[in-house]
């Protein structure tokens, strides 16, 4: 009998991210805790001067390389070529998503974001604490069907990511 193999996908996430935009020169300057399948696996950091990420403890980089190899290829912005992920690109993608999520959450705290005709628009509430009224105003005035403030966070992030970069 032939043994069945089952592909197991790891859940990798960054937590406790500390990002220093002012210190980021050639690469992002950051430090983050890496969690794999719900357990703390170590720390990844970069000084922001163009070097590779540093991983602690020993062996974390190899675990992340193995995970990165299971990810679908990514398209290069410079030449349009499809490339396999490695530890640097995969962790960089997680960091980009984290920073974009934080940016979106800050914006959603003070504005109504809605999608219309493939573009992202922001509507500021008339006064503090008037977010519900601003959401209703966006629906009535603009016919906004996709209001990011009313979507689950992951769905809002996917839409924000798609439209904010357009």
Strand-pair partners of 14? 34
The count of other CB atoms within 10 Å of the CB of residue 93 is: 14
Residue 145 lies in a domain: yes
39 plus 117 within the same structural domain: no
96 plus 141 within the same structural domain: no
- Tell whether the model's pLDDT for residue 54 goes beyond 70: yes
| Global pTM value | 0.83
Residue 1 lies in a domain: no
Residue 2 lies in a domain: no
92-96, 106-110, 133-137, 155-159, range with the lowest pLDDT: 133-137
Residue 26 lies in a domain: yes
Residue 91 lies in a domain: yes
DSSP code at position 129:
T
38 plus 96 within the same structural domain: yes
6-10, 25-29, 156-160, range with the lowest pLDDT: 6-10
Counting residues of the chain whose pLDDT is more than 90, the rounded percentage is 61
For the record, the structure tokens of 141 come out as: 């005035």
Residue 23 contacts residue 49 (beta carbons within 8 Å): no
Count of domains observed in the chain = 2
Q: Predicted confidence band at 164 (pLDDT cuts at 50, 70, 90)? A: confident
66 plus 135 within the same structural domain: no
The pLDDT assigned to 5 comes to 46
Long-range contacts, 19-24 (Cβ 8 Å, 24+): 19/95, 19/99, 20/48, 23/47, 23/48, 24/48
Which of 64, 81, 109 corresponds to the end of one domain?
109
Residue 3 lies in a domain: no
The helix (H) or strand (E) run that includes residue 110 is helix 87-110
Structural domain for 133, as ranges: 111-166
- Any residues with CB less than 8 A from the CB of 66 and at least 6 apart, and which? none
16-25, 67-76, 95-104, 121-130, range with the lowest pLDDT: 121-130
The pLDDT assigned to 116 comes to 85
What's phi and psi for 106, nearest 5 deg?
-65, -40
Which of 88, 109, 130 corresponds to the end of one domain?
109
20 plus 68 within the same structural domain: yes
């Amino acid at each position: 009998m032939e043994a069945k193999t089952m592909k197991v996908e790891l859940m990798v996430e960054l937590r406790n991210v500390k990002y220093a935009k002012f210190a980021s020169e050639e690469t992002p300057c950051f430090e983050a805790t890496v969690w794999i399948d719900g357990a703390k696996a170590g720390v990844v950091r970069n000084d922001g001067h163009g070097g590779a990420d540093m991983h602690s403890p020993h062996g974390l980089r190899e675990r992340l390389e193995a995970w990165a190899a299971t990810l679908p290829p990514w398209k290069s912005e410079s030449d349009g070529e499809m490339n396999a992920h490695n530890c640097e690109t995969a962790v960089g993608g997680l960091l980009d998503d984290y920073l974009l999520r934080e940016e979106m959450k800050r914006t959603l705290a003070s504005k109504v974001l809605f999608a219309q005709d493939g573009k992202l628009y922001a509507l500021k509430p008339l006064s503090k604490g008037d977010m519900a009224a601003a959401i209703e105003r966006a629906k009535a005035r603009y016919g906004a069907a996709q209001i990011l403030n009313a979507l689950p966070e992951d769905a809002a992030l996917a839409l924000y990511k798609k439209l904010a970069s357009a």
